[in-house]
Structure 1
Amino acid sequence: MDLEEEEEKNENLLIDLRECYLLLSRWASSELILTCMPCVLKVASVKEESEEVQKEVEIALLALCEIGVFKVKQEQYLKEITEIIEHQQKHRNLTKLAYQSAWQFLMNRLFNDDSLEDTIVNELNFVKEATKELEALIKCMDWKKKDGEEKGGKEVKEEIVLIRWLRMIKIYYRRCRLWNEEFVWLVSSIVQLFRTAKDNYRGICKECIELLSKAANCKAVKVENLLKGAAFNMILEVIIQSTFGFSQIK
């Protein structure tokens, strides 16, 4: 093995160690998190579309997600994460889990940095992207399999990504005050997801109901947006079904 190969091997080992550390970051020190981040962000920013590289990017973005709401200055991440999201919007090169993870990392920063709101809502069009991702997952998931039935690896992963999007949308409801007309389409997608999942995926249905309830309680949300998105119709159906015992969601 020549010197160049040895250096590459050592660099890959360091990357793996830093990703592992971030995946366990709930016990990590702030100094080490900030030491690991630039290296992992560099891996996450690779644009090559081979399957092997996509897997590396996915792991890097998952590792960054585990930092949670730990306070990080914008100059330490914003340019890279913004470029990752914008590149995906143009080229669709990332896996569904990797793309969701990039958004998750950025959305987590909202807890400590309200100034990100304009970037998330207006520059990167979170609502439009969340709607697009939900609709794509609705089309590709196998809705015939019931909760508890054995599922393949791909099916499990799609379900995990879907639930992660729903839970991230909750953060959006809680932290964002900027809204636009695209919100109606997001509400419609959540209603569509509920109706698609209600026979066999009760866990997802409960997430949808909770999401729309939070939206209804959010002062920034206009009532007409919920009406146009058919949210009230869906909630009324749930109340009627629960009251008369036709198909209770437990």
Structure 2
Amino acid sequence: METVNTKKFTELFSDLERCNKEEQKQKILEMNEAMEEMDEKEFKSVFTTELFDKICRMIEERKIYLKDSILMLKHVGYFNVLKCACINCFENSSLKKKVGEIIIEEEHKKEEKNEKIFVDLCKCYISLSYNIPPELRSICVLCLLKAALNKEESEEVQKEVEMALLALSNIGIWKEIERKQYLNEITEIVRNHQKHRNLTHLAYLSAWRFFINRFFFNEDLESVIENELHFAREATRELEDLMKCVDWKKKEEEMSREETKYVNISERWIQKLNPYIESCRLRSKEYAKLIRSIVQVFRVAKDNHREIRNQCIYSLRNAAISRALKIDGLLENEAVGVILEEIQQPTLNDKATCECLSFFIAISWRLEEGEEDEADEAKRKATKRKAFDKIEEEGYEDITTSFHELMPYFSSITENDIPSEGSSVLFVHL
């Protein structure tokens, strides 16, 4: 069913072939505005394989100027990533092949190369593609990183930088890229922002999303990410800044567009922390502060933003399992406290329940085994007693008893291994 936004876009698109150059550009600017208003469902309903094929034919038949088509397509890609629409229709369209061919042609030009068109085409291709041939991936990554290094402070330039980094963030963790193709550039982008604070919140997040996605294949990057670029410190700073930009007491539908934007960026930060938390082995004060920041996000978001709340639970569960933070740290930074509060909520869904139980089972195993670098048995017993006192104080023993018979069910609906005897591990060994 057509909505106001989709109808407006469709009508404007239908008029493009009958317009002169100036009229065509104006209509495309209006179409970009209509895109911004669309929700994920509307966006997917408009951008079909048929639409992309038609754009390709219009370019080939010169019914739309290439420059104007790019102006539209780079916004399609931008909002595709921003709205997490994940439209797959570009993959099977003739337009994908066409754009890829033009990129390669531009790359091989020795003279008269239009750098802006080249950069914009790379933005379109990367932000709309999921299966990217190695040659095009290499060309586009280098091009977009170079574009993102632009240090001009004008609003127009910073918007283009944001688009370039957002496109790069669309390259998932399964796309392996050689370190030499990105490491120096992305490091310079991050360091420059740390010195001058020149990127938007979304651009800086996108730079880190691209970098952390590379961490999946290169765990030896941990020293660069944590010791040189201080990811935990930077993520903490960003989360704290973003929390100040939102009135979290409002329901989602009551928020302004600006507040909604900051909520979405906060959610993306929490999501991207998980692969880092899962793989991180460095223990530092910065990491401990990051866990406390996640707890703070959980507290402000738990009433009106269910998805962020669930992502925070998952992050804290991973922190308990990863051992990058001692159990004392989890207690001191209130991670244990918020999970205890959450598991007693009557509205908790099955998935969140699994994550909460996994959190406590991980702590139980760690208390039994002892921390890897903790040789002092008396200290280990004191930590166990401290954890037990906190859990007993909140009534967790009664909760685990009530969940004991349901453990096999929760194990069956999650990827996590939750043994049926796990709920009593903590108390057996105290």
When the two structures are superposed, what TM-score results if normalisation uses the length of structure 2? 0.53
Q: Secondary structure at the match of 1:82?
A: helix
For 1:101-120, list aligned pairs within 5 A.
101-120=206-225
Given candidates 220, 239, 245, the residue that maps to 2:324 is 220
Distance 1:150 1:196 in 2: 16
The answer as to whether partners of 1:166 and 1:208 remain within 8 angstroms in 2 is yes
Distance 2:348 2:255 in 1: 21
Given candidates 201, 207, 211, the residue that maps to 2:305 is 201
Deviations 1:188-211 (A, max 9, x none): 111111111222222211111111
Given candidates 226, 235, 238, the residue that maps to 2:342 is 238
- Determine whether 1:157 maps to 2:238: no
- Corresponding residue number in structure 1 for 2:296: 192
Given candidates 164, 180, 191, the residue that maps to 1:60 is 164
- Determine whether 1:94 maps to 2:199: yes
Distance 2:306 2:284 in 1: 30
The structure, 1 or 2, with the larger RCO (C-alpha pairs under 8 Å, 6+ apart) is: 1
The answer as to whether partners of 1:26 and 1:67 remain within 8 angstroms in 2 is yes
Given candidates 229, 233, 243, the residue that maps to 2:333 is 229
- Corresponding residue number in structure 2 for 1:3: none
The answer as to whether partners of 2:190 and 2:204 remain within 8 angstroms in 1 is yes
The answer as to whether partners of 1:183 and 1:225 remain within 8 angstroms in 2 is no
Counterpart code for 1:25: S
- Determine whether 1:78 maps to 2:78: no
**Cα shift at 1:155:** 2.0
Deviations 1:104-134 (A, max 9, x none): 1110101111221100011100110111111
Distance 2:316 2:287 in 1: 12
Given candidates 226, 232, 235, the residue that maps to 1:121 is 226
Counterpart code for 1:15: V
**Cα shift at 1:171:** 0.9
- Determine whether 1:20 maps to 2:124: yes
Distance 1:109 1:157 in 2: 26
What runs of 5+ residues in structure 1 fail to find an aligned partner?
A: 1-6
**Cα shift at 1:150:** 5.1
- Corresponding residue number in structure 2 for 1:34: 138
- Corresponding residue number in structure 1 for 2:249: 144
Counterpart code for 1:238: E
Counterpart code for 2:343: I
What runs of 5+ residues in structure 2 fail to find an aligned partner?
A: 1-111, 350-430
Identity of aligned residues (%): 50
Q: Secondary structure at the match of 1:199?
A: coil
Counterpart code for 2:195: K
**Cα shift at 1:239:** 2.2
Distance 2:169 2:286 in 1: 26
Q: Secondary structure at the match of 1:66?
A: coil
Counterpart code for 1:120: I
After superposition, the Cα gap between the structure-2 partners of 1:180 and 1:135, relative to the gap in structure 1 and judged at 3 Å, is same
Q: Secondary structure at the match of 1:93?
A: coil
Counterpart code for 2:130: R
Distance 1:27 1:150 in 2: 38
Distance 1:199 1:220 in 2: 29
Moved more, 132-141 or 150-159: 150-159
Counterpart code for 1:166: I
When the two structures are superposed, what TM-score results if normalisation uses the length of structure 1? 0.90
Q: CA RMSD in A?
A: 1.7
| Alignment: residue pair count | 238
Displaced runs of 4 or more, over 4 A? none
Distance 1:89 1:68 in 2: 25
The answer as to whether partners of 2:280 and 2:322 remain within 8 angstroms in 1 is no
**Cα shift at 1:25:** 2.9
Larger Rg: 2
The answer as to whether partners of 1:58 and 1:95 remain within 8 angstroms in 2 is yes
Deviations 1:157-203 (A, max 9, x none): 21221111101110111122122122221111111111112222222
Distance 1:179 1:81 in 2: 24
Counterpart code for 1:31: E
**Cα shift at 1:42:** 0.9
